[in-house]
Amino acid sequence: MRLLSPDLELALSLADDADAITLPRFRAHDLRVETKADLTPVSEADSAAETALRQRLARERPGEAVLGEEEGGDDPSGWILDPIDGTRNYTRGIPVWATLIAYAERVAVVSAPALGRRWWAERGEGAFADGARIHVSGVGRLEDATVLYGLERPPPARAYDAWHVRGFGDFWAHMLVAEGAAEAAFDASGLKIWDWAPMKILVEEAGGRYEDSVSWNGVLDVSELR
């Protein structure tokens, strides 16, 4: 097994820290949830996880930029954190949620502890899921393809010519593309950088493409599916 770079080792360790905070509070009867100004929910676990990761980065990587969903920031050149992607799922007891971590457009970790899954990638080193290398599929015909759409992005009529159309959103859809289980994933438009930065690295290192909230295997023609 190849040696991990210090950046990837730290990102994976940060994901461990986040999992230790978020998983015990998942499905907790006393979980505190508030509504942010943009009308999206935020739980105590979102806030606690991001604070913990920022505190550790301040100790171990002082001076490096940190940008996160809950505490803000404006420099995308360093660490990018989404403590819980899929907070609505998290607050309703649905296990499809994950901590997203990216570093300097080079390293990505997606950790979904309620699913028992973790994905990571580093530029030039490939993409992995639970330690095994992953790669996008080679399916190029829409009639043979699985195409995924988020609820905020309903599929056009042409999409229903696909072999399989489903509505998996957030990180999960893009990880299915990276693993080769789906050929394309169309997420909501207007995503924030913490929503897509790890996805772009992972999908591209798995041999696919990511552009404007869409990931695909690089073979399927997605022009008529947008």
pLDDT exceeds cutoff 60 at 6: yes
Confidence band, pLDDT 50/70/90 cuts, at residue 154: confident
Phi, psi of 186 (to 5 degrees): -110, 110
Who contacts 176 (Cβ-Cβ below 8 Å, separation ≥6)? 146, 148, 168, 182, 185
Enter the CATH code of domain 142-216.
3.40.190.80
User: Which is higher by pLDDT, 129 or 73?
Assistant: 129
User: Which is higher by pLDDT, 174 or 151?
Assistant: 174
Cα 14 from Cα 49, distance rounded (Å): 10
Give the architecture (CATH level 2) of 6-123. Answer: 2-Layer Sandwich (3.30)
Tell me if residue 12 falls in helix, strand or coil. helix
**pTM check: above 0.85:** yes
Phi, psi of 7 (to 5 degrees): -65, -45
Give residue-wise pLDDT tens across range 166-222.
988 789 999 999 999 999 999 988 889 999 999 999 999 999 999 999 999 999 999
β strands within 135-208, DSSP E:
146-149, 164-166, 184-186
Cα 178 from Cα 139, distance rounded (Å): 13
The mean pLDDT of the chain is 94
Domain boundaries, the chain: 6-123, 142-216
Q: What is the mean pLDDT of residues 141-163?
A: 91
Phi, psi of 89 (to 5 degrees): -60, -45
Q: State residue 217's pLDDT score.
A: 98
Give percent above pLDDT 70 in the chain: 99
Give residue-wise pLDDT tens across range 75-106.
999 999 999 999 999 999 999 999 999 999 99
Q: State residue 39's pLDDT score.
A: 75
Give residue-wise pLDDT tens across range 39-72.
788 899 999 999 999 999 999 999 999 999 898 8
pLDDT exceeds cutoff 90 at 2: no
pLDDT exceeds cutoff 90 at 36: no
